[in-house]
Amino acid sequence: MNVEHTSDLAARIATLKRAKNAVILAHYYTTPEVQAVADFLGDSLALSVQAQSTDARIILFAGVHFMAETAKVLCPEKKVLIPCPEAGCSLAESCDAADFAAFKARYPGYKVVSYVNTTVGVKALTDICCTSSNALKVVESLPADQPLIFGPDRNLGSYIQKLTGRQNMVLWNGACHVHEEFSLEKLLALKREHPAAKVVAHPECRAYILAVADYVGSTAGILDYCGKSDAQEFIVVTEAGILAEMRRRYPAKSFIPAPPEDATCGCNNCKYMKMVTLENICAALENEAPEIVIDEEVRRAAERSIRNMIAIR
Ligand code: 13P
Ligand code: SF4
């Protein structure tokens, strides 16, 4: 995109935001141009919390569909816009609400903990949501003898199971296309090339990747760790959008993206997050559409599970 076009669009978006009393919430995985027009940039937990505390009339969610849905669940009286409704999430899509209801029926007496990367229908079947930032706290808030269903991410679920030693936890078999694709062989080669670098990884990665990481954590956790660590170099095993924020916050440090199996690209991008563009943000603000609409009964059921999560943040 040419620079002039980008700055024209950014200026138009700023004017529309003021005129319409709109706020833009963006996830760290969006492109740097999109991050630059955001009023608030965060990981999925911080964005949910921010959504419920804004006074704006319109929330435009620069992120994937489940994130905008979460904002609408928490703020039913606000207009929540999703600039690209096709921006889904392979993890949320790996857990269909009807299939999840049938799975849940097989485990009477189990409490359901679901990652926020789920549709509103799955959240409505959930007792308490979590994000990668607070999954451990959420699971530990439940009595040790309480059997649990954890969904939909099998990698995050196994990681939490390992940390807590909980045996009574059944996992839904879902995964994220971005985090599952990192290559161990290529990561080990990078480690040999940069022996002083610390490896930071998101818990959605496979167990064999997490086993060689110096730090495992959510998007916000990884950002904090890189700031506090004495290391000057980091190999980053998560979605590459986070690199923009890392370089902004810590310009003197160096960040090396870990490559996926697919040799055609050097880093790993979430194709859904990259579907959000300045063009579709501008169009959504102009038209006040597409808007997130949720059935009220489903919304109320989902709200309980999200509020339970925010309460133990
Ligand atoms: P965070 O909870 O770290 O923001 O992660 C969101 C996500 O989609 C991870 O792939
Ligand atoms: Fe979903 Fe994975 Fe993209 Fe996160 S990175 S939004 S889990 S597909």
Q: Counting runs of H as helices and runs of E as strands, what totals does the chain give?
A: 15, 12
Over residues 229-243, the mean pLDDT reads 96
Could you tell me if the CB of 91 is within 6 A of ligand 2?
Answer: yes
Write down the pLDDT at residue 256: 96
Residue 308, pLDDT above cutoff 90: yes
Write down the pLDDT at residue 264: 60
Write down the pLDDT at residue 265: 58
Write down the pLDDT at residue 31: 96
- Phi (first) and psi of residue 109, to 5 degrees: 85, -10
Over residues 133-142, the mean pLDDT reads 95
Percent residues over pLDDT 70 in the chain: 98
Q: For residue 150, report the distance from its CA to the centre of ligand 2, in Å.
A: 17
What are the sequence ranges of the domains in the chain? 3-87+273-294, 91-176+299-310, 182-257
Decide if 3-87+273-294 and 91-176+299-310 have a common fold.
Answer: yes
**CATH code of the domain made up of 3-87+273-294:** 3.40.50.10800
Over residues 76-91, the mean pLDDT reads 97
Mean pLDDT of the chain: 95
Short-list 174, 236, 283, CA closest to 29: 236
Could you tell me if the CB of 132 is within 6 A of ligand 1?
Answer: yes
Write down the pLDDT at residue 156: 97
Q: What is the pLDDT of residues 185-217, one digit of tens each?
A: 999 999 999 999 999 999 999 999 999 999 999
Q: pTM of the prediction?
A: 0.93
Write down the pLDDT at residue 240: 92
| Ligand 2 atom showing the smallest separation from residue 90 Cα | 8
- Looking at the domain covering 91-176+299-310, what would its CATH class be? alpha beta
**CATH code of the domain made up of 182-257:** 3.40.50.10800
d(CA 178, CA 240) in angstroms, rounded, equals 10
Q: For residue 3, report the distance from its CA to the centre of ligand 1, in Å.
A: 29
Q: How far is CA 288 from CA 5, 69, 74, 168, 284, in A?
A: 22, 16, 19, 46, 5
Could you tell me if the CB of 175 is within 6 A of ligand 2?
Answer: no
Q: What is the pLDDT of residues 241-269, one digit of tens each?
A: 999 999 999 999 999 999 888 756 556 89
